[in-house]
Structures are given as C-alpha cells and as structure tokens.
Amino acid sequence: MGTLLLLCVLGLVAFVVVGAILSAVLHAVVWLVMLPFRIFFKLLLGLGGILAGLVLAPFIAVIALIALVASVIGAMLAMLAPLLPVLLLGGFAWAIFRLASRKPAPPPPPPPAGFWS
C-alpha cells in the first residue's frame, strides 16, 4: 500500500513538472510569434501618443490652470465660511439701525396756485 501511494505521489509530481515545462515552452512560442506585432503596435501607438500629447498639452494646461484658480477660490470661501453667522448678525444690526435712524419724509409740496380753482 505504501509503494502504491509513493508511486501515485511521484506520478503527480512528474505530471505537474511536465505540465509546467510544456506551459513554459508554449508561452515562449506564443511570445515569439506575437513579438513582431507587439513591436509594430508599440511603435505606432507610441508615436501617436507623442503627437497627441503635443497637440493636447496646451488644452490640458489651460484646464489645469482653471482648476487651480477654482480650487484657490474654493479654499478662500471655505476659510470664510465660519464667519457667515457673524456677517448675518452684522447685516441684521445694520438693517435695524437703518430702519431706526430714518429721517421722516418731508411733507409734500403744496399744489400750485390756481391748480384747483
């Protein structure tokens, strides 16, 4: 029984080793067959990427500048946000002061002479 178990284990190990060797050889063959296509497409897409980068770089720079300005304005507003309650209280106080310190309106001028007669 022990001999059968040993032979089964050795058979499985041999099967795994042969499978690994065959898969490595198959991988190398496929890699070598695909190598010219990989070189062609890398050159083609590499040059296309360089040209696209040269064309799109100014637009991306402008977009980045706009995003930078917007983020700075957002940061300033975020720092001023805690002052909103104070600004509201100041606005309410100013409105009450304006209502309380209004000068009375002058009386309307009398109608011109002979207007109603």
- Each residue of 4-58: pLDDT tens digit? 899 999 999 999 999 999 999 999 999 999 999 999 988 888 887 888 888 889 9
Instruction: Give the Å distances, CA to CA, from 76 to 64, 67, 85, 91.
Output: 18, 14, 17, 21
What does the angle CA 30 – CA 31 – CA 34 come to, to the nearest 5 degrees? 85
Please tell me the predicted confidence (pLDDT) of residue 44. Answer: 83
Handedness of CA 32, 33, 35, 38 (dihedral sign): negative
Q: Which residue has the tokens 């509201």?
A: 88
Question: Does residue 108 carry a pLDDT above 90?
Answer: no
Question: Does residue 117 carry a pLDDT above 60?
Answer: no
Task: Give alpha helix (H) positions in the chain.
Answer: 2-80, 84-100
Instruction: Give the Å distances, CA to CA, from 69 to 32, 72, 81.
Output: 51, 5, 18
For the chain, give the longest Cα–Cα distance. 141
pTM here is 0.42
Question: Does residue 86 carry a pLDDT above 90?
Answer: yes
